Amino acid sequence: MNDEILEKIGLTNAESRVYLTLLRIGKSTIGDIIKEANVSNSKVYDILDRLNKKGLVGITKENNGRTFEAKNPSRLKDLIETKKNEINDVEEILPELDEISKFAEPTQEAEILQGVSGIKTFTEDILEKLDKDDTFYILGAPKESNEFLAPYFKEWHKKRIKKGIKCKILYNHDFSKEWVEMRKKSPLTEVKILPKIIRTPVLVDISKDQVATILFGDKPQCIVIKNKKIAESYIAYFNMLWKMSKK
């Protein structure tokens, strides 16, 4: 794999080495990354933080420290869009990157994704994993989510509908009425409004085996838990609130 191709889309040489290393070896500690990617101890955290903000690396906090994992190579497409004229070769290497990632261990149970890129990493991953007739649940949907990513979410729902994935949304009471009415008219979509006394400051996305808590503001974050039993408990909680809410 030629690191220079990844550098064409904005990754530094060190970022390219670390990302490719994580694709190859899977979930890793700092020590493993320093050894395998040949980067210095003083720079590795900064490199991983930048990759995390680009939506290319997930971070898990564990009792004894942190572990890191490369995200699906398809996330490179967001970077590709910004430098299309320079990166004709990059689309060609995505299958090769996918092959590298197959040798990694199974994905981690929890991770933290930073920034808007991190939020997109999660939502695109969900869209890829859900099948036709599956249901995706959105709880809370604070108005800040619309302010940050309204155009993106609009396109995401179009892709969801095209794939045949159902969606149930519980909006906060103060969410944009115009947006709510528009979403009500969407195919494969059910919408209700939470009671005024219930307001969530975060967006909670729930699929059949993942739950994401998305925080907006100056430093957006997406905290993802990958556990089917936890997802099922959140769905049960969602359904309880659904019964309490109005159309």
Asked if 87 and 174 sit in the same domain, the reply is no
Q: Is 162 found in the same domain as 240? A: yes
Q: The CATH number of the domain where 8 resides is what?
A: 1.10.10.10
- State pTM to two decimals: 0.64
Instruction: Give me the domain span that covers residue 92.
Output: 3-108
The size of the chain, in residues, is: 247
Q: Is the pLDDT reported for residue 44 higher than 80? A: yes
- Tally of domains in the chain: 2
For residue 130, pLDDT beyond 90 = yes
Q: Which of 75, 92, 108 lies at the terminal end of a domain, its last residue?
A: 108
Distances (CA, A) of 69 to 50, 147, 188: 13, 30, 33
Q: Quote the pLDDT of residue 7.
A: 76
Chosen domain end from 67, 83, 108: 108
Q: What CATH code is carried by the domain that includes residue 214?
A: 3.30.870.10
pLDDT digits (tens, 9 = 90+) for 96-114: 666 666 655 555 578 888 8
